[in-house]
């Protein structure tokens, strides 16, 4: 037991213990408050990001369904549409089961199928037989019958004696692809000048405008689609200067050596529900669309 003379030291020690306790408590309480708030905000969900992820998945799957249907039934637009509807119905079952395990309810269904024209040519000059007499006499002509969109467009140059230009005109600006018989491929952007994608090459030269590539090599200058307005006209100038083939699918009526009806785009209705998200809308898919 402490003596009377030791009482001051005992009190001093006690006071220090109390002070240290106060300080410790204040620091701990403050830290606890901070931690609690951080924890609550850190678990905030990312509902919109999940929604967009679902929409992108649906769009990609819709594009695959469309391409598959077109490959299986290249000349039968009705069969293409039926195949797309069947695939989307199967996808609906898959999505329902897959997302049910993630506490989300997803339903998809075909909302609409847009039919356009598939335009192609397998050989000969890029001129157009305007009067259907079997001779391609029109050297300057328009593939698209008015302003519209196109998808899945490529051209192959096999020969010729000069240069043919493909002009994408949205009414305010023009983007021009110059195709040379010697394999030269140039792209002209308004205001920024000309970019040479390929100076020369062994023929045939394949220019995939939807994929922005020349003979499989990426050329960024061909990716002008995002700079175009929503619709545009595609003109051929000096079409008799080169020989080769082309193919594309247009949103509406088109001109060309061969045209057949083909599904252009599919609209898919999407319903997505979670505890935090309520979404009903549609996504549209047109694989290889320019613009």
Partner 1 sequence: MTDRAVSSTVEFVLTLAVATALMGGLIIGATNMTERQHGNAVESQMQIVGHQIAGGIESADRVVATSRTISTFAVERDLPDRLVNARYTVEITTSAVLITTDAVDRSTRVAFDTETPVSPTSVNGGDLAITKSASRLVIERAD
Site residues for partner 1 per CB under 8 A: 4-5, 7-9, 11-12, 14-16, 18-20, 22-23, 26-27, 30-31, 33-34, 37-38, 40-41, 43-49, 51-52, 55-56, 59, 267, 276-284
- Residue placing its CB nearer to partner 1 in the complex, 11 or 196: 11
Q: Which is nearer to partner 1, 222 or 228 (CB)?
A: 228
We find the least distance from the C-beta atom of residue 253 to partner 1, in angstroms, to be: 22
CB count in 10 Å sphere of residue 89: 12
Distance of CA 208 to the CA centre of its chain: 16
Nearer to partner 1, 37 or 123 (CB): 37
Beta partners for 68? none
CB of 90 to partner 1, least distance (A): 22
Partners of 121 in the beta sheet? Answer: 246
Residue 272: strand, helix, or coil: strand
Q: Which two tokens stand for residue 160?
A: 């010729």
Two structure tokens written together for 123: 């050989």
The distance of closest approach from Cβ of residue 79 to partner 1 in the complex, given in angstroms and rounded to an integer, is 25
Provide the minimum distance between the beta carbon of 70 and partner 1 in the complex, in angstroms, as a whole number: 20
Query: What kind and span of H or E run contains 254?
Result: none
Task: Measure the CA–CA gap between 119 and 108, rounded to whole angstroms.
Answer: 31
* DSSP H or E segment with residue 68: helix 47-72
Q: Cβ of residue 222: shortest distance to partner 1, in angstroms?
A: 24
Give the CA dihedral 113, 287, 61, 59, nearest 10 degrees: -80
Q: Report the nearest approach of partner 1 to the CB of residue 32 (Å).
A: 10
Nearer to partner 1, 110 or 119 (CB): 110
The residue among 1 and 4 lying less far from partner 1, judged by its C-beta, is 4
Of the candidates 187, 185, 225, 189, the residue with the CA atom closest to the CA atom of residue 201: 185
Residues 6+ apart with CB under 8 A from 30: none
Residue (43 or 132) nearer to partner 1, CB: 43
């Amino acid at each position: 037991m402490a003596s009377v003379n030791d009482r001051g030291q005992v009190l001093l020690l006690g006071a220090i213990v109390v002070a240290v306790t106060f300080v410790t408590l204040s620091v701990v309480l403050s830290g606890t408050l901070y931690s609690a708030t951080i924890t609550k905000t850190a678990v905030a969900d990312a509902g919109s990001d999940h929604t967009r992820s679902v929409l992108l998945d649906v769009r990609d799957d819709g594009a695959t369904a469309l391409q598959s249907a077109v490959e299986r039934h290249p000349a039968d637009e009705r069969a293409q549409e039926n195949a797309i509807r069947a695939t989307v119905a199967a996808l609906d079952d898959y999505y329902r089961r897959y997302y049910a395990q993630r506490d989300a309810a997803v339903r998809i269904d075909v909302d609409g199928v847009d039919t356009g024209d598939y335009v192609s040519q397998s050989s000969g000059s890029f001129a157009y037989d305007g009067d259907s007499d079997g001779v391609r006499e029109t050297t300057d002509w328009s593939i698209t019958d008015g302003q519209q969109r196109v998808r899945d467009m490529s051209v192959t140059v096999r020969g010729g004696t000069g240069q043919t230009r493909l002009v994408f005109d949205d009414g305010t600006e023009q983007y021009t692809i110059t195709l040379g018989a010697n394999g030269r491929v140039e792209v002209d952007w308004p205001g920024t000048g000309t970019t040479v994608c390929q100076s020369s090459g062994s023929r045939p030269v394949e220019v995939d405008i939807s994929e922005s590539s020349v003979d499989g090599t990426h050329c960024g200058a061909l990716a002008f689609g995002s700079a175009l307005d929503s619709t545009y006209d595609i003109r051929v100038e000096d079409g008799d200067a080169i020989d080769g083939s082309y193919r594309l699918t247009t949103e509406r009526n088109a001109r060309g050596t061969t045209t057949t009806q083909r599904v252009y785009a599919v609209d898919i209705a999407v319903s997505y529900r979670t505890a935090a998200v309520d979404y009903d809308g549609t996504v549209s898919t047109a694989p290889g669309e320019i613009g």
